[in-house]
Amino acid sequence: MNSVTANPSLLPSGFVLSRQVADYNARDTYAGQWNFSIQHAATSSLALQAAYVGSRTVKAIGPRPLNLVDPALRRRPRPDLGDVLTLENASNISYHSLQLSANQRLRRGMSFDAYYTWGKALTYGTADTSITFSDGFTQDPLNLRDSYGPKAGDTRHRFVGVYSWQIPSGGFARTGLAKAFFGDWTLQGILARRSGLPMNITSGRDAVGNGRVAGQRPDYVAGANPYVKNRAGLVWLTPTAFDVNTPVAQRRFGNLGANALRGLSAFTFDASLQKQFAIQERHRFMFRAEFFNALNHPVLGNPNTALNNPNFGRILSASGGRNIQLALKYAF
């Protein structure tokens, strides 16, 4: 690379190098966070809480491709250079949420915590991503706000429940061997459910003629239902709801919004069963069985969202199956 930089004539004829640069005049990123909450003791052991939580990050660092092909002139502004990829502080992100919770302290062998969040995270300019030069989200690099929409990990609804239950052993397990084997078992678990994550539909075509395919989106066909939602058949979207040909014919960007659609919801449940066996006053065994994805329920990933891919709309990934872990601990 150093030799090519020192002597560009070493490159093949007609080949130009791209550049990766940083904006040395960029302003610092700044962020603000705020919250307001109300708590209420419903009983001596049950607490309820409602909270509003918000944040905003301005001038976050993100990539932007420059020196793109001018669609009118059919050439780059600097023909002696290829793509010029710059890191600049021009991305924004905001978050607002309502957070509800209920916390029950141990009562009659049962304790639980329940949390529900309704939230919305919006962004443009690939804010809140890893610091790389790749950007497949922004449609028009000269107008970042054109790609203003939900953040990639935006979760509109989320519920999480955590519980612990000391299983009643009944009168027959109060003494002797019956108590040793059937008494003092504790069941614990975590269950969670969330709504679908955003999906960014891309056309896979350079409709504008700027030499950049990444991030360009199609038109949405008015009145069409983009969803198939066939979990059993692993198909979630239909290509007939999107129009690539019209933006190409009119040499413009598509009108579909960034991250405009949602993928599949998800449910997870992990559980554990544990018991302590007292051997002597200071000697005891603890047995624990843990079940990850206890119901063997797969979490399906988002479908393929590139219209030029033959697998568009199909679900190609999922979480693993049930995992069981057993442990035995001796304390003395």
Mean pLDDT score of the chain:
88
> Residue 167 contacts by C-beta under 8 Å, 6 or more apart in sequence?
109, 185, 186, 187
Report the range of poorest mean pLDDT among 41-50, 62-71, 126-135, 296-305.
Answer: 126-135
In whole angstroms, give the CA distance from residue 141 to residue 213.
12
Check pLDDT > 60 for residue 1: no
pLDDT at 130: 52
- Mean per-residue pLDDT for 220-234? 95
- Tell which wins on pLDDT, 245 or 107: 245
Burial letters 292-310, b for 16+ CB under 10 A, else e: bbbeeeeebbbbbbebeee
In whole angstroms, give the CA distance from residue 75 to residue 68.
8
Check pLDDT > 60 for residue 2: no
pLDDT at 241: 97
Check pLDDT > 70 for residue 83: yes
The structure tokens listed for 258 are 């960034």
Reported as a single tens digit per residue, the pLDDT across 314-327 is 999 999 899 999 99
Reported as a single tens digit per residue, the pLDDT across 87-102 is 888 889 999 999 999 9
- Mean per-residue pLDDT for 1-23? 64
Q: Domain residue spans in the chain?
A: 21-166
Burial letters 84-123, b for 16+ CB under 10 A, else e: bbbbbbbbbbbbebebebebbeeeeeebbbbbbbebebbb
pLDDT over 70, % of the chain:
88
Confidence bin at 167 (pLDDT 50/70/90): confident
CA 241 to chain centre: 24
